[in-house]
Amino acid sequence: MGVPRMQQPDERRDMVERQLRARDIVDENVLRAMERVPRELFIPEPERRRAYDDAALPIGAGQTISQPYMVARICEALSVRPGHKVLDVGTGSGYQAAVLAEVGAEVVTIERIPELAEQARANLAAAGYDQVEVQVGDGSLGVPDRAPFDGIAVAAAAPGLPETLYEQLRPGGRLVVPVGGPRAQRLEVIVRSPEGPAVVHSVPCRFVPLVGEEGFAG
Ligand code: SAH
C-alpha cells in the first residue's frame, strides 16, 4: 500500500534500461526478449511484487531465481541465435529458459529438484513457453540423448570446468558457467574449438551451488 505501483510492462522496460542497457548488455535480441518475458510469472506470490528488483529472489527449496542482469549476461555470452539448440542447466523457476526460448532457441532444461521442475513447467506454460522441454536429473552430466548443443548455460556454481558438458557442445558451441568456490565465482565462457576449450573469464558472480556428479557434493 501507499507507493503507487508501475504497470508490469513499464517495470519491465525500466528493468531493461536501468539494470541491463545502462550496465553493459548490448545484444538487442536479449534486451528485446527480456522486455517481453513476464518475470512476475516465475516468482512465487510472497515475492512477486519484487519481480523487477535488481536481485536474485527466493523460489523455494533453498534456491533462487537469478538476478535479471545475470540472466542477460549469460544469454549474451552464449550468442544465442534463432534455431540454436540450447541446454539450460538448473531450471529453477524456468525464467532463464523462457528468455532463451524468447530469443528463438530450442530449449532443453534440467533441474535436480523435482518440485522445482514441476513448478517451472507450470510457470513456463502460464507465460506461453510450453515448448520448453523440462527434465529432472543431474544436469552436471548434461542431457546426452539431446546433445550436441549450440550452447549450454549453467545457472549454478561449478568447482571447475564441467568436462561432460563441454563434450556435449557442437564444434564452435559455447558453455557459460560460474566457476569457483561455493560463495564466489567468475562467470566463464568456454568455446569448443579444435585446439580444445578456449576460456574467456567474465564478471565475478555468486550463484547457488551445482550439486551433482561434476558439481559439489550434495
Ligand atoms: N535460471 C534459474 C536459476 C535457478 S538457481 C532461474 O532463473 O530461475 C539454480 C538451480 O540449479 C536451482 O534450482 C538448483 O536446484 C539447480 N541445480 C543445482 N545443481 C543442479 C544439477 N546438478 N542439475 C540440475 N539442476 C541443478
Residue whose CA lies nearest to ligand 1 atom number 23:
139
**What CATH number is associated with residue 129?**
3.40.50.150
Please say whether the beta carbons of 100 and 37 come within 8 A: no
Amino acid at 5: R
- Report the distance separating Cα 190 and Cα 177, nearest Å: 8
- The verdict on residue 84 lying in a domain is yes
- The helix/strand/coil state of 143 is coil
Instruction: Kindly give, in sequence order, each residue whose CB lies less than 8 Å from that of residue 41, ignoring residues fewer than 6 positions away.
Output: 123, 126, 127
pLDDT tens by residue, 64-92: 999 999 999 999 999 999 999 999 999 99
Helices 114-126 and 95-103, axial angle in degrees (round to 10): 40
List all residues whose CB is within 6 A of at least one atom of ligand 1: 63-66, 71, 89-90, 92-93, 95-96, 110-113, 116, 138-140, 155-156, 208, 210-212, 215
Instruction: Specify the number of domains making up the chain.
Output: 1
Residue 7 has what pLDDT? 74
What spacing in Å lies between the alpha carbon of 194 and ligand 1's midpoint?
A: 30
Residue 51 has what pLDDT? 97
- The verdict on residue 150 lying in a domain is yes
- The verdict on residue 216 lying in a domain is no
Residue with cell 531493461: 16
- The verdict on residue 217 lying in a domain is no
What spacing in Å lies between the alpha carbon of 92 and ligand 1's midpoint?
A: 5
Residue 198 has what pLDDT? 95
**Tens digit of pLDDT at every position of the chain (218 positions):** 445 566 788 999 999 999 999 999 999 999 999 999 999 999 999 899 999 999 999 999 999 999 999 999 999 999 999 999 999 999 999 999 999 999 999 999 999 999 999 999 999 999 999 999 999 999 999 999 999 999 999 999 999 999 999 999 999 999 999 999 999 999 999 999 999 999 988 889 999 999 999 999 98
- The verdict on residue 214 lying in a domain is no
Instruction: Kindly give, in sequence order, each residue whose CB lies less than 8 Å from that of residue 178, ignoring residues fewer than 6 positions away.
Output: 154, 156, 157, 158, 185, 186, 187, 188, 205, 206, 207
Please report the sign of the dihedral spanned by the C-alpha atoms of residue 87, residue 92, residue 93, residue 95. Answer: negative
- The verdict on residue 3 lying in a domain is no
For residue 152, the cross-strand partners are 87, 175
Ligand 1 probe mutation, 59, 89, 124, 214, most atoms within 8 A of CB: 89
- Report the distance separating Cα 65 and Cα 99, nearest Å: 13
- The verdict on residue 110 lying in a domain is yes
For residue 153, the cross-strand partners are 88, 176
Does this model's pTM top 0.85? My answer is yes
Catalytic residue numbers? 66
- The verdict on residue 49 lying in a domain is yes
- Report the distance separating Cα 218 and Cα 202, nearest Å: 27
What spacing in Å lies between the alpha carbon of 195 and ligand 1's midpoint?
A: 30
CA end-to-end span of the chain: 41
- Report the distance separating Cα 95 and Cα 101, nearest Å: 10
Please say whether the beta carbons of 210 and 154 come within 8 A: yes
Q: Which domain holds residue 118?
A: 9-205
